[in-house]
Amino acid sequence: MRSYPELRPVRWDALAVLAVLALAAASALLLWRAPAETGAVTAVISADGEERERIDLTALSPTTITVESRGYTLHVLLSEEEVRVTESDCPTQDCVHTGAIHGSGQSIVCLPARVTVRLEGGAPADGPDLVIG
């Protein structure tokens, strides 16, 4: 035995747990900020790192979009309230199991097809509040 490990939890382990928790909390704060208050949300569908569609969900009646990538076909259902992958022929089905997403910042990932569906918040952060002319 090169070095025999301590087999019972020690005080320092709590530090490791706390560090992971802190990292989780920090990343949650950073990545899960509350959606913009203007309900306007845009769904961005990318495949293989390339943006395929950008759909404004404001007042959108339910629409299904087919995304083909890497030999797989995903059916994405978009409406004003939510976005979900209803059908996919990928082996893992994670994208379908993820269910509906509705807030800006949320996303659905399909690894086999290399597809992401991502909701972008309200008016773009650097967009105008109003336009003159």
Residues within the interface to another protein (CB under 8 A): 1-10, 12-13, 15-17, 19-21, 23-25, 27-28, 31-32, 46, 48-50, 92, 94-95, 97-99, 105-107, 109-111, 114, 116-118, 126-133
Question: Do 12 and 85 contact (CB within 8 A), yes or no?
Answer: no
Residues 70, 112 contacting (CB under 8 angstroms): yes
Smallest distance from the beta carbon of 20 to another protein, in angstroms? 5
Min separation Cβ 111 and another protein, Å: 4
CA distances from 22 to 12, 27, 30, 33 (A): 15, 8, 12, 16
Task: Give whichever of 63 and 70 is closer to another protein, judged by the CB atom.
Answer: 70
The owner of tokens 């259902």 is: 77
Cβ 89 to another protein, closest distance in Å?
A: 15
Nearest to 121, CA basis, from 106, 109, 101 = 106
Smallest distance, another protein to C-beta of residue 81, A: 19
